[in-house]
Structure 1
């Protein structure tokens, strides 16, 4: 982070307090950018305390949105805030590494798609590399609970994590998940998850699934109608909710709807609401579902 004003008083890049960025490589040597922020009201990050922590994929597009939402909330709320960890890529001038996120955020399947399907390796990287690295930077912090947030392909990734590694997080947040991907193969994982008689490990996860709601003009809608019908973003999310709502493997299943938003504009809404729920309203009540 640079100084706010140079020697001649000229403008300089904006710096962000109570945050840091570092890089990690996975087992294949791929570099990832890890961005971390903690509450502005923490005058000393070394002070022993306990707090929640949330991990967000597609970190380049999520970090500032999530950090600003949490900081603003921290000033108006009597509840404790937490630590935000955004997992992204070393990028300049863009928000997404499309090729790499295609690999990282989509699950393996019986009908492989070239350039996709390495979500298991990415989950291993988060669990075995990212989490220990973050904990080492906060040695006096006790993490009360952990959440995973993802949007679109990231929402698909969050669902895959829930269905295959439910003990990795206490809460899984899938914003506008791409359930349509590869013939809706994620529903096969859901069925297997529901067929399991008991979960291994001690965690019984909670799930938040905000469906996508469209508010397009008639012209835009007509142009995208066939694609939208194929993706069935809202219907797929609601179908999955019906499958999961009676599962004994979940502590709570919550749904948030954003009537006036579309697939991209929903991100700040769902990020802000997810943070508020996870940081302030835990443990969730079943009556909210």
Structure 2
């Protein structure tokens, strides 16, 4: 943890060096396309490594990271990737980052429609839920071709999702596996719709081959004070359903080593649901790119 805190401090110092009067540090730009599939304009942020702007380096092409909830996640994830891909770090390659914004988050990021409103820990309306498959079709058939045509991309693609975004990442992992080469699922909402996707994940891990795919699972400590992880596993109350569902997901990964998936799950006992994304992304990049893109 001390090493991670030092890393964060160095990130802020690194970018602050360029924050001189009259100058700006720009992580990315806003872009958009008119989606025929979703019948709406979709906005997203795009970060392109600075080396892509001139000279021989302009011919270089980059892996692409797609991430959900760009309003909350884009700046931190992009800063980390930019810092960790520098020559004196080189823990991951330089990458293009595409941060997707959501005009209706629950519509985009949920795999099934639910009639009743979500439980107390995830307040909001259920009216538009279940738009996951059309949203994934938009990513595959419209957004990815647009990014590949207009930016210097490599074929390698990573997906990062947190909470409902993690649920959507798992939906893609299970039902559209080869759309991405690697997945970072951060405290995913696997409780959704009576754990329907969790059950589908179990069957997929048991029966299918995931050779060539990487996945990193980050688990936050969302238990009540005084509860340890073993108490959560055996608890039956609604209050622990979120964490129990993710721990069950981790157990499914651990029980199915035969399917070829490169996978690691980690429990962050000192991090909450909202603090866990940054440290998970840091550990995920180290895990996924330990030997370079697969």
Q: Considering the TM-score relative to the shorter chain, is it more than 0.5?
A: yes
Structure 1 residue 36: Cα displacement = 1.0
CA RMSD of aligned residues (A): 3.1
Q: 1:196 offset after TM fit, Å?
A: 3.9
- Report the number of matched residues: 252
- Secondary structure of 1:22 counterpart: strand
Matched, 1:239 2:248: yes
| Pairing 1:67–2:71 present | no
TM-score by length of 2: 0.74
Question: SS at 1:211's partner residue?
Answer: strand
User: For residue 222 of structure 1, what is the aligned residue in structure 2?
Assistant: none
- Hey, which of these two has a bigger chunk of helix by percent? 2
Matched, 1:273 2:283: yes
| Map 1:28-67 → 2, pairs under 5 A | 28-44=38-54, 47-67=58-78
How much does 1:248 deviate? 3.6
> Is the aligned partner of 1:87 residue 2:105?
no
Does the 8 A contact of 2:214 with 2:261 survive in 1? yes
Q: Which residue number in structure 1 is paired with residue 110 of structure 2?
A: 106
Counterpart of 2:149 in structure 1 is 136
Q: How far apart, CA to CA, are the structure 1 residues paired with 2:289 and 2:50?
A: 15
Please say if residues 214 and 260 of structure 1, whose CA atoms lie closer than 8 Å, have aligned partners that are also in contact.
Answer: no
1:119 and 2:132 matched: yes
Q: How far 1:204 sits from its partner (Å)?
A: 3.8
User: What 5-or-longer segments of structure 2 have no aligned partner?
Assistant: 1-20, 117-125, 227-234
Among 16, 29, 32, the alignment partner of 1:23 is 32
Give the direction of change, closer, same or farther, for the CA distance of 1:128–1:204 in structure 2 (3 Å limit). Answer: same
Match of 1:174 in 2: 185
Q: Distance in 1 between matches of 2:257 and 2:115?
A: 27
Using the TM superposition, give the Cα deviation of residue 147 of structure 1 relative to its aligned residue in structure 2, in angstroms.
Answer: 1.1
Q: Does 1:208 align with 2:189?
A: no
Q: Provide the rounded CA distance (Å) in 2 between the counterparts of 1:29 and 1:66.
A: 29
In structure 1, what is the Cα distance between the partners aligned to 2:69 and 2:260?
A: 25
Contact 2:63 2:96 in 1 (8 A): yes
Aligned-partner Cα distance in 1 for 2:74–2:114: 34
* Deviation for aligned residue 1:29: 2.0
Q: Is the 8 A contact 2:52 2:60 kept in 1?
A: no
Identify the range of structure 1 (173-182 vs 247-256) with the bigger mean alpha-carbon deviation. 247-256
3-state SS of 2:218 partner: coil
In the alignment, the residues of structure 2 paired with residue 25 and residue 15 of structure 1 have an alpha-carbon distance, to the nearest angstrom, of 29
